[in-house]
Amino acid sequence: MSLLEVEHLRVEFATEDGAVIAVKDVSFTLEAGEILALVGESGCGKSVTAMSIPRLLSGDDLTLGGSVRLNGVDLAALSERQMQEIRGKEISVVFQEPMTSLNPAYTVGHQIGEVLRRHEGLSRRQATARAIDLLELVGIPDPRRRVQSFPHQLSGGMRQRVMIAIAVACQPKVLLADEPTTALDVTVQAGVLDVIQNLRDSLGTAVILITHDLGVVADVADRVVVMYSGRRVEQAPVQAIFSRPQHPYTVGLLGALPARAVTQGGRRRLTEIPGMVPPPTSDPDECQFHSRCPRATSACTLERPPLGEVADGHLVACYHPGPGGHSAR
Amino acid sequence: MGQFILRRSLASLIVLFLASIMVFLGIRALPGDPALVLAGESPDAATIAAIREQFGLDAPLPVQYANYVAQTFQGNLGISTKDRIPVADILVERLPVTLELTSLAILVGLAIGVSAGIASAVRRGRSTDYVATGLGLFGLSVPHFWLGLIAILVFAVKLRVLPASGFVGLGEDPVENVRRMVLPALVLGTGLSAVIMRQTRSALLGQLSADYVRTARSKGLSRSREIRHGLRNSLTTVVTVLGLQLGALISGAVVTEQIFVIPGFGKLTVDAVLSRNYPVIQGAVLVTVTGYVVVNLLVDITYAYLNPRLRLSGASE
| pLDDT tier at A264, thresholds 50, 70, 90 | low
Tell whether the torsion through CA atoms of A235, A240, A241 and A244 is positive or negative: negative
* Residues in chain B within 8 Å Cβ distance of A148: none
Distance of alpha carbon B295 from alpha carbon B247, whole angstroms: 11
Whether B16 is in a domain gets the answer: yes
- For chain A, the residue count is 329
Phi-psi region of A131 (alpha: psi -120 to 50; beta: other; left: phi over 0): alpha
Note the ipTM here.
Answer: 0.86
Indicate if B32 and B126 belong to the same structural domain: no
Inter-CA distances, A100 with A160, A209, A244, Å: 10, 20, 39
Full DSSP string of B132-168: HHHHHHHHHHS-HHHHHHHHIIIIIIIS--S-SS---
Does residue A328 carry a pLDDT above 50? no
Q: Residue-wise pLDDT tens for chain B (317 aa)?
A: 778 888 888 988 898 888 888 878 877 777 767 777 767 777 788 888 887 787 777 788 888 888 878 888 888 877 887 788 888 888 888 888 888 999 999 999 999 999 999 999 999 888 889 998 898 888 888 888 888 889 888 988 888 888 877 788 777 888 888 888 889 999 999 989 999 999 999 999 999 989 999 999 999 999 999 999 999 899 888 888 888 888 788 888 888 888 888 888 888 888 888 887 878 888 888 888 888 888 888 888 888 888 777 765 443 33
* Residues in chain B within 8 Å Cβ distance of A88: 218-221
Indicate if B106 and B23 belong to the same structural domain: no
Inform me whether the C-beta atom of residue B313 falls under 8 Å from chain A C-beta atoms. Answer: no
Minimal-distance CA residue of chain A relative to B233: A105
Interface probe with B: pick from A101, A108, A168, most Cβ of B within 10 Å: A101
Q: From the list A87, A100, A101, which residue is nearest B220 (CB)?
A: A87
Indicate if B247 and B112 belong to the same structural domain: yes
Whether B4 contacts B314, CB under 8 Å: yes
Domain boundaries, chain A: 4-221, 246-316
Beta-strand runs (E) in chain A: 4-15, 18-30, 35-39, 62-70, 73-74, 91-94, 174-178, 206-211, 223-228, 231-237, 262-264, 267-269, 308-311, 314-316
What is the predicted pLDDT for the residue at A281?
Answer: 78
Among A residues 250-289, those touching chain B with beta carbons less than 8 Å apart:
none
Strand duo A231-237 + A314-316: pairing: antiparallel
Distance of alpha carbon A135 from alpha carbon B159, whole angstroms: 63
Q: From the list B211, B233, B308, which residue is nearest A95 (CB)?
A: B211
Structural domains counted in chain B? 2
pLDDT in tens, A16-27: 888 888 999 999
Distance of alpha carbon B314 from alpha carbon B303, whole angstroms: 12
What is the predicted pLDDT for the residue at B161?
Answer: 82
Whether B111 is in a domain gets the answer: yes
Indicate if B168 and B108 belong to the same structural domain: yes
The residue out of B44, B73, B102 marking a domain boundary is B73
Inform me whether the C-beta atom of residue B308 falls under 8 Å from chain A C-beta atoms. Answer: yes
Helices B87-122 and B265-274 pack at an angle, to 10 degrees, of: 130
Indicate if B177 and B39 belong to the same structural domain: no
Whether B184 is in a domain gets the answer: yes
Determine the distance from the C-alpha atom of residue B88 to the mean position of all C-alpha atoms in its chain, rounded to a whole number.
Answer: 20
Indicate if B107 and B223 belong to the same structural domain: yes
What residues contact residue B298 under an 8 Å CB cut-off, 6+ apart? none
Among A residues 156-195, those touching chain B with beta carbons less than 8 Å apart:
163, 166-167
Interface probe with B: pick from A103, A117, A159, most Cβ of B within 10 Å: A103
Q: Are B222 and A84 inside 8 Å of each other by CB?
A: yes
Indicate if B100 and B170 belong to the same structural domain: yes
Give the single-character DSSP code of A129.
Answer: H
Distance of alpha carbon B187 from alpha carbon B145, whole angstroms: 9
Q: Count CB neighbours of A233 within 10 A.
A: 25
Whether B112 contacts B187, CB under 8 Å: no
The residue out of B15, B44, B73 marking a domain boundary is B73
pLDDT in tens, A167-213: 999 999 999 999 888 877 888 888 888 888 988 998 889 999 999 88
Indicate if B152 and B238 belong to the same structural domain: yes
Inter-CA distances, A127 with A169, A258, A319, B82, B212, Å: 10, 45, 55, 66, 20
Whether B143 is in a domain gets the answer: yes
The answer to which of A148-157, A223-232, B232-241, B304-313 has the lowest mean pLDDT is B304-313
Whether B306 is in a domain gets the answer: no
Q: The domain A4-221: what is its CATH number?
A: 3.40.50.300
Domain range for B46 is 2-73
Q: Are A56 and B312 inside 8 Å of each other by CB?
A: no
Of A14, A97, A87, A34, which Cα lies nearest the Cα of A56?
A87
Whether B285 is in a domain gets the answer: no
Distance from CA of A186 to the nearest CA of B (A): 23
Whether B8 is in a domain gets the answer: yes
| pLDDT tier at A265, thresholds 50, 70, 90 | low
Distance of alpha carbon B226 from alpha carbon B213, whole angstroms: 6
What is the predicted pLDDT for the residue at B311?
Answer: 65
What residues contact residue A324 under an 8 Å CB cut-off, 6+ apart? A251
Whether B125 is in a domain gets the answer: yes
Backbone phi and psi for residue A291, each to the nearest 5 degrees, phi listed first:
-70, -20
Question: Which residues is A234 bridged to in the sheet?
Answer: A226, A316
Distance of alpha carbon A102 from alpha carbon A110, whole angstroms: 11
Inter-CA distances, A273 with B46, B146, B257, Å: 102, 70, 75
Question: Which residues is B88 bridged to in the sheet?
Answer: none
pLDDT in tens, A58-111: 777 888 889 999 999 999 899 999 999 999 999 999 998 888 999 999 999 999
Inform me whether the C-beta atom of residue B216 falls under 8 Å from chain A C-beta atoms. Answer: yes
